[in-house]
Every structure is written in C-alpha cells, then in structure tokens.
Chains A and B, each alone.
Chain A
Amino acid sequence: MNALLAQFLAEAADLLTQIDEGLLELERTPGDPELINDVFRAAHTLKGSSGLFDFPELTRLTHAAEDLLDAVRAGELPLDSGMTDDVLAAFDLIRGWLAHVTGSESLPPSAAADAAVLITRLRTPIGGEAAPEPTTVEPGRVPAWLAYVDEEWLAATAAWLRTTSSQMRFVRYVPDSGCFFRGEDPLHLIRQVPALAHLDVIEPIEWPADHDEYACLIGFVFAARAGAGEIGYLFRYVGDQIEVADLDGDAIQRYLSGETGEALKVAAPASGDDPDLVTEARAVLAAALHALTTNPTGSAHLISVANAITNAAHVLGDPVEIREPDVVTLTATVTRLLGDTPPPEEPEGPGSVDDGGQVGSRILKVDQAKVDHLMELAGELNVAKNSLPFLARAAEEEFGSRDLAQRIRDQHAGLHRIAEDLRAAVMDIRMLPLSVAFARLPRMIRDLGRRLGKDVELVVTGDDTMADKDVIEALADPLMHLVRNSLDHGVEPPGERRAAGKPATARITLDAIADGDAVLVDFADDGRGVDPARVRRTAYDKGLIGAVESRSLSDADALDLIFRPGFSTAEEISDLSGRGVGMDAVRAGVEKLGGTVTLRSEPGGGTSIRLRLPLSMAVTQVMVVSVGGQRFGIPVDLVAESVRVPAGEIGRVLHQDVVVLRGEVIPVVDLARVLEMPCRPDAAADRAIVIAGVAGQRVGLLVEQFHREVDVLLKPMEGLLAYADEFSGTALLGDGLVLLVLNLKEVLGLAARVG
C-alpha cells in the first residue's frame, strides 16, 4: 500500500474516534463551543486529507457532515439527537469504507448510493436538499473573479442596474478536472440556468502542451437573473464548485473604477487569518509534495493531488489554477506555495511542515505478534533461570563443591533480578488502560437508550487502571452483555422512574480498581433491580430448577440463577438481549479469563455486578502438589488454603469423604483415584488437603504432598492431549519437568462420574 494512504488510514481511525467521543460528549454538554470546535476540526481534517486520494464519495460525505457541524459551530442551529444520529451514522459508514480501503484500496461499490442517502439527511437541517453548499460572497463585496467578465458588458450592465436599482447574480463555476468522467457537462448545466445574461470562460493561463481532452481545464463565470434557489437547485451536486455573488450597479461601478482593494481580499474567503486552517493547508501541501516524490504516475492520482493543492492554495489566500496535473508543475507550485506562505504563528502546532512528518515518531507501533513472542521468550528465560538452583544443588550434592554451588546461586540471584525486570517490562508493554475496553460503551448506551426511550447517563471512574491486553480484549464482550441487560431489564422507562421517586435519567456507573494482581470492575445501575421471587418463578417455569429447590434457595442463590444458561427474565423477548445469552455469556466469558462474577441487587434500588479479573493472563501462578509420585499444578487463584488433618478426621457422608473444618463440612475428592494414579497412603500419616473454591463451592482435594508455588507460562493442551479436558495446560518447570496444570472444574466433574 502507498505509504501516504497507510498513514491516512491510521490517522483517520484516530480522527473517527475523536469525532465519536466528541459527539457523545456534546450530547451531555450541548453547545460547548470548545467541543463543537474539536469535532468540527477532526471532521475537517478528515475531509482535507481524504482529498489527497481518489475517494470522491468519502470527501463529499465528510464535507456534508462538516457543513452541518459548521452550522452548529456558527450557532445557526442547535445539535439535536437526530442530527447526532446522522453524523454518527455518516462516520460509521466511513469507518466501514476505510476497512474496505484497507483491504482493497478502493471504496466499496455501494459507496455512492449509501453516501447519497446520508448526505441528503445531513443537508436537510441546513437548507433542504441543496447538496454541497455554494459559497456565497458577502453582499456588497465584489469577488476578484469578476475580472473574467467582459468589461464592456459589465459597464453597460452596471449602468442599467443602477438605473433600475436592481441586482444581478454572478456565479463562478469551476468544475473539477475529473468531472467529464462522472458524466457531468458543465456547459449543459449552465445552459439550463434561467435568465442567463452573460457567459465568460476562465481559461488556463497557459495551455499544457499535451493536455488530456478528458480533463476539464476551464471554468466559467456567468451572470444571470435566476433566483438563488434556482441556481442552488441546478448546481446541487457541484455546489462546492460554484461561488455566487449578488452585485448591484454601484458595486460593479466601484469595481470598474478600480476600487478593488477590498475585492482582492474576498477572493480568498476564510483565508490567511485562521492559523488552524493555514496549518492544515500547509500539511496538505507537504503531504502532496510527499505524494509527488513517491508516486509520480497515475493521472487520476495526480488530478486528486492537484485538487488538494488548489484547495490548500485557496485557504492560504494564494489561489492557483492548476490545469495541468503533471509532476513537475505540481511540485513547483507546491514548493512555491510552501515558500511563500509563512508558517502560522504557533510553531508547535501539530502537522506543521517544519516537523518534516516526524510527528508521533516517539511512539513505536509494533505488531502484536512480536510483543507476544517477546513475552514468550521472557517467560522461557524465567524458566531457564529457574534451573540454576537445581544445578547448584547438584554441584553441592553430586560433585561435592559447595563453593561452586554458592557461586551458581549468586549468579542465579543476579539473573533472577534481570529476568523479573524483563518480564515486568514486557508485561508493561502489553498493559492497556481499561478505557480501551470501555470505549465502545458510551456509544452503545446512547444508541440503546434512544431506541428503548430510556435516558441513561454513564459515569466511568478508574478507567486508567491498567490490565493485560488479552484481558482488556476479552472484557469487551461481557461488558457489552452487561450494558444490554441493564438497559433492557434493569433501567426503567422515565415515567416509571419518576413514579418511583427516582430521577428520570438513569445512571450506570462503571468503576475499575486494581486489587493486587487482579482488576475489579464494578458495573452498577440504579434501575429496578432483580427480584429474587421472580427469578425463582422464571427458573422454575423454564425447568432450570425443581420445585423443592425453588423453595429452598436463598435469595442470593436465586439471584445467581440468572447466570444459568437458558435464563432470561424479560417477559417479552427484545432484539437487544433477552435471547437467553445474556448473563451466562458474561459469566462464561469472565471465567474463561480466570475471573469471577458476582451480583448484588436490591429490588427497586438497582443492580451491581462485580467482575474480578486477573491482571494478566500470560503468567499463571500455580501451586505444585504431588499425587502418586507425580507433580500437578493447581491455579493459585482457586486455592483457598492447604491443611493437614489426621487421617481419622476424614469422615464419610453419603458415600462421600468429607472433612469438617471450622464447623464447615467440606467434601473431599481423592485426586489419586480421580486421576487413576497408584497411591499407597500411609494409614497413620496426616492427610494433605488443598481447599479450593470452584464455582462458588468449597471442595477439598486429597493430595500426597504440597510443594511450592511457581509462576509458569501455561501452554494449552495440543495435539494428542487436546482431548484431556481435566488439564488446562502444561508448563515447563525449572528442572526440566513438564507440569500438568489441572482444570479443577473438569476434575470435579470427573470425580462425580468416578463416584
């Protein structure tokens, strides 16, 4: 891909995010001029850079959105949610296009049609179906392009207009050079202008030697008595290419007598004095120059570059007519423009040409796979380092050299520190703020809220908490389900809220805090809450629980039922959630990450859901135990405690070994039996039991011996072992042994079957 295009795509992604965020923010604080400006500027930049490429639909659509935003910025109309919807939709469409561009370097075939619909919608609030808004010169001012009009005719007309105290409408129409390809015939358009009085042609200063017959190099200036509406309608598709000036006899007379000082200024509307625009124009020129040096072929491309240059020159107040899209002239023009125009006042402004395109070079964009590989290597280094203590012991015991052993241990200590630092550094690279996972939510809440007619305000705190990118990425889906469920089932319509004495606008809070090596994400709404009685009834109706269970369940356990697959409390199934894939998907998603979900609810007062997630999934802490002489790993997250109890204290209830611990009866599973390992328990010895919490239940695992905890790099089971569900993966230990890490949920299932 062309480097310039790649850069455009990367920038566009950022700009689109900026626009999205800005628009949502605007809904909360309508009319904030700073915000409107930000959004407008982002849209404007996007439009500007899109002009460098041959994506006319993209440019036209952004232009329409930009015009709407401009009108809002100028205070001509307030931004209502309908308009916001349209603007958001427009940029969503563009986002889709850019994805297509990334793949195929072209817009999808449906682009023109899709754009047309949206453009019409965007244009409606700012003056009907008139497509690109024609530039109108302020009344009384004389545009410089009047110079193209035949002076004799002007003089005669001026006299007549003065006598009759009437006005004449002057229009400059400069079709873009590719217009013939789109089936446009400018002369045919002009022919249709009612009451056309005079026509003049704008020729290029110099005709190119070998000009392309299909490039439109000329423009027109015409005078007519047609109404503004008529002109606007005729030129509705090329409104950005015309400029209209209403002149009376006096104005023309003043112009003819040479008072053109004012007029020349008008020639470049909105020029020169806006440093932002100048900065942007210069950036466009620099980009164009870059494009010219890298890609000097392709006439369509050259034409787009030429257009970009013309636009930029216009903004710089130094208009040029580029009628000859060839590399040499264009390069010369750009160089001249860049040389002539002083950089704007603020030299630190981003995109200023002086940076030479070095903006952002402090941040390195790295392929994710490379970081993953680095992570893996750092893990391997840790494992390799862990073999040194074994070597030290061997040196001491087998070779009898205590000195050597000591030196190896010293080396190990140094290596350990570096390896740990390295791992921490790599982990840090992979860390992302939770705001990445939260980014989609404001938009979703807004859209859903509007669809359901519910007013919802989102309050996010602690979104700068960091977590591993795998966790962040995997968190997106559960959060989405939570939002849907909350809006669909939790949050009441405004009327119901008011009746219950709550503010009409519901509040969803999202709070993230770091908790040791875990992240807690609290999601809460102040909706109607979950009614345990209703949950019980629904679960019973759906056959998820039996009649006895439905009576014996505590309220807390009843609430937990909503995480069961196939449960949905919405009385009517909506297309948002309520397809029975809501909360169980949340729990499944979070548990897959090695996290937990808990729910608290107060009927009428809201629901709060706490997600507890590991900070990182790359390194797992496991507790090593041995069973039947072989070592196994148990994820430390699940281990509550490890106890030794005398053999005699293990009782038996209903064919199940149990142990009573601080008054609590805990079932005990003999791992050796479940895993079919040979086991010769010493009848007199104490029993070693790991107490683990699995799916909210405490269970004891009878093992032979406890070992230490280790950090391991868990590799999933592959190949021949892929079927072995009772293991969640393998890890390499420092002494070269392979450790099988148990998947306790499956192991307990297996235990139940072995009985």
Chain B
Amino acid sequence: MPLELGDTSATLTGVVTVDEVEPFAAWLRGTAKPRVNLRKCNHLHTGAFQAMMRFRPKISAAPADSFLAGLVLPLLEGSSGAPIRQESDPS
C-alpha cells in the first residue's frame, strides 16, 4: 500500500500512482496541519504533487529517491511557490 494515512501524518511508499491522488488530496484537504513522510517514496504522481503544492504539508522526511530529493523536494519546501517575478505575468 503506497499510501498510509494517519491522523496528522501520511506516509507515501514506493510509486504513488494516479489511484492514490484522490484519497491523498482528500486527506490533505481535511487535515489541519498535515505532515507527509516521503522517505520511501520512489515516485510521486503529478496529481499528488499538485495536491501537495496546493495544501503545502510539512515534509517530515525527505525522500531517498534522487530525482524527488534533488529537484522536487525544494519545490515542496519552497517558502512560496508563487512565481518570483509575478509582475511580468508570464504565460
């Protein structure tokens, strides 16, 4: 089971597919201060990633996977995901 949802923290394991997106997003939406453990997560479906960008859970454990850790994690942890130079209204 790639998705274990607790009261305030969730653990994502292995490959999180599109099937997990809906319950995961619902959990994020309904949880006050959600924490997500990505340590054993090997891949995050874009939908799950999007839900995390939307609800900004705290990442309790960084993923071991190099792509997730090196390129995706900074986005999830970024203080603000909003464009840095918003005034240029890029497309």
- Chain B residues, Cβ within 8 Å of A217: 50
Give the contacting residue for B75; candidates A143, A201, A268, A320; CB below 8 A: A201
Q: Are A191 and B43 in contact (CB under 8 A)?
A: yes
For this complex, 18 residue pairs linking A to B, each with C-beta atoms less than 8 Å apart, are A143-B90, A148-B84, A151-B85, A180-B47, A187-B44, A187-B46, A196-B67, A199-B72, A201-B81, A202-B83, A205-B82, A213-B50, A214-B21, A214-B47, A216-B50, A267-B90, A314-B91, A320-B91
Which residues from chain B contact A214 at a C-beta distance below 8 Å? 18, 21-22, 47
Least Cβ–Cβ distance between A192 and chain B, in angstroms: 9
Contact across chains for B90 and A148 when beta carbons are under 8 A apart: yes
Q: With CB as the reference atom, state the residue of chain A lying closest to B85.
A: A147
| A191 and B67 contacting across the interface, CB-CB below 8 Å | yes
Report if A540 contacts B (CB, 8 A): no
A251-306 CB contacts (< 8 Å) to partner B: 260, 264, 267-268
Query: Which residues in A have their C-beta under 8 angstroms from that of B75?
Result: 199-201
Q: Which of B14-57 contact A (CB under 8 A)?
A: 18, 21-22, 25-26, 43-47, 49-51, 53-54
Is the CB–CB distance between A186 and B46 below 8 Å?
yes
Interface: A211 (CB within 8 A): yes
A188-B46 in contact given A147-B84, A203-B53 (Cβ < 8 Å) = yes
Chain A residues whose CB sits within 8 angstroms of the CB of B45 once the complex forms: 185, 187-188
CA gap between A180 and B21 in the complex, in Å: 10
A150 contacts the other chain (CB 8 A): yes
A379 located at the interface, meaning its Cβ lies under 8 Å from any Cβ of chain B in the complex: no
Query: Looking across the interface, which residue of chain B has its beta carbon closest to that of A181?
Result: B18
CA distance A264 to B90 in the complex (A): 8
Q: How far is the CA of A213 from the CA of B30 in the complex (A)?
A: 14
Taking a contact as CB atoms under 8 Å apart, the answer to whether B46 and A175 are in contact is yes
Q: Which residues, 521 to 550 on A, are CB-close (under 8 Å) to B?
A: none
Distance in Å: Cβ of B81 to nearest Cβ of chain A: 5
Contact check, B43 vs A203: say whether CB atoms are below 8 A apart. no
Select B83's contact among A148, A207, A267, A314, beta carbons within 8 Å.
A148
Chain B residues with CB under 8 Å of A205's CB are 82, 86
CB within 8 Å of B: which A15-42 residues: none
- Is B1 in the interface zone, CB < 8 Å from A? no
User: Is there contact, CB below 8 Å, between A185 and B88?
Assistant: no
**Chain B neighbourhood of A147, CB < 8 A:** 83-86, 88, 90
**A interface footprint on B50-91 (CB within 8 Å = 1, 0 otherwise):** 110110000000000001000110010000011111101111
CA distance A233 to B64 in the complex (A): 28
Binary contact track A201-226/B, C-beta < 8 Å → 1, others 0: 11101010001011011100010000
The listed residue (B46, B54, B82) touching A211 by CB distance below 8 A is: B54
- Asked if A488 CB lies within 8 Å of chain B CBs, one says no
A176 CB-CB contact with B under 8 Å? no
**10 additional contacts, CB 8 Å, given A147-B84, A185-B46, A217-B50?**
A143-B90, A147-B88, A148-B84, A183-B18, A187-B44, A201-B75, A201-B81, A213-B21, A260-B88, A319-B90
A201 / chain B contacts, CB cutoff of 8 Å: 53, 75, 81
Of A151, A198, A268, the contact of B91 (CB 8 Å cutoff): A268
Contacts of B22 on A, CB cut-off 8 Å? Answer: 213-214
Query: For the complex, what is the distance from the CA of A321 to the CA of B83, rounded to whole Å?
Result: 13
Known A-B contacts A147-B88, A207-B54, A314-B91; the reply to A188 vs B43 at CB < 8 A is: yes
Q: Which of B21, B54, B71, B91 contacts A145 (CB 8 A)?
A: B91
Q: Are A213 and B46 in contact (CB under 8 A)?
A: no
Q: Are A151 and B84 neighbours in the complex by a CB distance under 8 Å?
A: yes
Please tell me if A144 contacts chain B, counting CB pairs below 8 Å. yes
Measured in the bound complex, the distance between the Cα atoms of B72 and A216 in whole Å is 17
Which of A150, A185, A196, A222 makes the CB contact (< 8 A) with B84?
A150
Please indicate the chain B residues that have their CB under 8 angstroms from the CB of A314 in the complex: 91
A145 vs B89: C-alpha distance when bound (angstroms):
9
Residue of A nearest to B87 (CB): A147
Given A147-B84, A187-B46, A218-B91 contact (CB < 8 Å)? no
In the bound complex, residues from chain B placing their C-beta under 8 Å from that of A267 are 90-91
The contact string, 1 if C-beta is below 8 Å from chain B, for chain A 124-154, is: 0000000000000000000111111011000
Q: How far is the CA of A202 from the CA of B46 in the complex (A)?
A: 13
Alpha-carbon gap, A202 to B50, bound state (A): 10
A191 to B41, CA, bound (A): 14
Indicate if the CB atoms of B91 and A319 lie closer than 8 Å: yes
Q: Which residues of A sit under 8 angstroms from B21, Cβ to Cβ? A: 180, 213-214
Across-interface contacts of A175 in B (CB, < 8 A): 46
Smallest CB gap from B17: residue in A: A185
Q: Kindly state the separation between the CA atoms of A321 and B90 in the bound complex, as whole angstroms.
A: 9
Bound-state Cα–Cα, A186 to B89, Å: 23
Least CB distance from B50 to A in Å reads: 5
CB-based nearest B residue for A196:
B71
Q: What CA separation (Å) do A180 and B16 show in the bound complex?
A: 13
Interface pairs A-B: 5 shortest CB-CB: A319-B91, A199-B71, A147-B85, A213-B25, A144-B90
The answer to whether A218 touches B90 (Cβ under 8 A) is no
Q: A187's contact among B49, B90, B91, by CB below 8 Å, is which?
A: B49
Pick from B21, B46, B54 the residue with the most CB of A within 10 Å.
B46
Complex CA distance for A202 and B72, rounded to whole angstroms = 13
**Residue of chain B at shortest CB distance from A268:** B91
The listed residue with most A CB atoms (<10 A of its CB), out of B50, B82, B91, is: B91
B47: chain A residues within 8 A (beta carbon): 180, 213-214, 216
Docked pose: A442 CA to B22 CA in angstroms: 55
| Beta-carbon nearest neighbor of B88 in chain A | A147
With the chains together, A133 CA to B55 CA distance in Å? 35
Instruction: Choose among B18, B47, B67 the residue with the greatest number of A CB atoms under 10 Å from its CB.
Output: B47
Name the residue on B nearest A153 (C-beta). Answer: B74
- On chain B, the residues within 8 Å of A213 by CB distance are 21-22, 25-26, 47, 50-51
Instruction: Determine the chain A residues whose CB is within 8 A of the CB of B82 once the complex forms.
Output: 203, 205
Shortest CB-to-CB span from B76 to chain A, Å, is 9
Report the nearest B residue to A188, measured CB to CB.
Answer: B43
Which residues of B have CB within 8 Å of A186? 46
A150 to B25, CA, bound (A): 27
* CB of A307, distance to nearest CB on chain B (Å): 14
Q: Smallest Cβ distance from A220 to chain B, in angstroms?
A: 9
A495 and B45 CA atoms in complex are apart in Å by: 63
Inter-subunit contact B53/A145 (CB<8 Å): no
Least Cβ–Cβ distance between B5 and chain A, in angstroms: 15
Q: Report the bound CA distance from A214 to B45 in whole Å.
A: 11
**How far does the alpha carbon of A599 sit from the alpha carbon of B28 in the complex, in Å?**
83
Q: How far is the CA of A183 from the CA of B47 in the complex (A)?
A: 11
Check A218 against B83 for contact (C-beta < 8 Å): no
Return A171 CB to nearest CB of chain B, in Å: 13
Which residue of chain A is the closest to B71 with respect to CB atoms? A199
User: Which residues of chain B are near A207, meaning CB under 8 Å?
Assistant: 54
For B43, B50, B85, B86, which residue has the most chain A Cβ atoms within 10 angstroms?
Answer: B50
**A520-B81 Cα distance, complex, nearest whole Å:** 76
**A203 to B53 alpha-carbon distance, docked (Å):** 8
Distance of A497 from chain B, by nearest CB (Å): 58
Residues of B within 8 A of A143 (CB): 90
Most-contacted residue by chain B among A185, A191, A268 (CB, 10 A): A185
